[in-house]
Amino acid sequence: MPRLTIVIASTRPGRAGLAMGEWFAARARAHGAFSVAVVDLARLDLPLLDEPRHPRLRQYTHGHTKEWSATAGASDAFVFVTPEYNTGYPATLKNAIDYLHHEWLYKPVGFVSYGGVAAGTRAVQQLKQVVTTLRMYPIVDTVAVPFFQQFIDDEGRVQANDVMEQAAVAMLDELARVEAVTRALRVEIAQPA
Ligand SMILES: Cc1cc2nc3c(=O)[nH]c(=O)nc-3n(C[C@H](O)[C@H](O)[C@H](O)COP(=O)(O)O)c2cc1C
């Protein structure tokens, strides 16, 4: 089974991102196309990029980079769970992306975004520009949650509506399709002729 890694981008105390990430992880497990892992950037706790060499060279010097590289490298697909900060995506996610290079290549990525009226979509638009530089395949079907507070209950859990549930399935279906057809590209770079 291909491995899907869900990355929770926000790290603030009291963040909504954890609830959003946990909700989506449960949906991804129920979907059944992937084995699912969750990386919470608050727990990963990467410092601001502190590697001396470009990640293309893979000459990582720090344990935290090697650990992140192993996790991302073992993944076949990603979902980034992101808020919108000042109409962009959080610096924590950019930092985590910039640490690596080969680990992202030719892998599909979906987005769960949340915010006010724009539902985090401006953050996703920015992310698409960055992930395509890394030859990732952004999935068109997204889960975009407007006025997200209405979907978080008193216990801090997401109570999704039908639109969110259907969007999650559509995204996971498409992620599985794109993961399958891009596998050959990843095998090619792993075993160059
Ligand atoms: C620094 C900062 C900037 C924000 N900018 C936006 C924004 O541009 N658009 C938006 O919809 N919400 C914005 N918000 C509100 C967030 O949607 C809300 O705080 C949300 O809880 C952030 O996700 P998090 O709790 O996972 O950190 C901003 C929040 C913060 C802390």
pLDDT tens for the chain, residues 1 to 193: 999 999 999 999 999 999 999 999 999 999 999 999 999 999 999 999 999 999 999 999 999 999 999 999 999 999 999 999 999 999 999 999 999 999 999 999 999 999 999 999 999 999 999 999 999 999 999 999 999 999 999 999 999 999 999 999 999 999 999 999 999 999 888 876 6
Does any ligand 1 atom lie closer than 6 A to the CB of residue 85? Answer: yes
Q: Quick one: how many helices (H) and strands (E) in the chain?
A: 6, 6
pTM: 0.98
Q: How far apart are the C-alpha atoms of 138 and 91, rounded to whole Å?
A: 19
8 lines ligand 1 (CB under 6 A): no
Please report the atom of ligand 1 found closest to the CA of residue 117.
11
CB contact burial 155-185 (16+ within 10 A = b; e otherwise) = eeebebeeebeebbebbbebbbebbeebeee
Helix intervals (H) in 8-140:
17-31, 41-44, 63-73, 91-98, 121-133
- Gap from CA of 83 to ligand 1 centroid (Å): 6
Structure tokens at 47: 């410092």
Contact indicator for 120, 145 with CB cutoff of 8 Å: yes
Query: How far, in Å, is the centroid of ligand 1 from the Cα of 125?
Result: 16
Largest CA distance in the chain: 56
- Report whether residue 21 contacts ligand 1, using a CB cutoff of 6 Å: no
Instruction: Collect contacts of 49-57 with beta carbons under 8 A, ≥24 apart.
Output: 49/95, 49/98, 49/99, 51/99, 54/101, 55/98, 55/99, 55/100, 55/101, 55/102, 56/101, 56/102
Task: Give CA–CA dist 66/101, Å, rounded.
Answer: 12
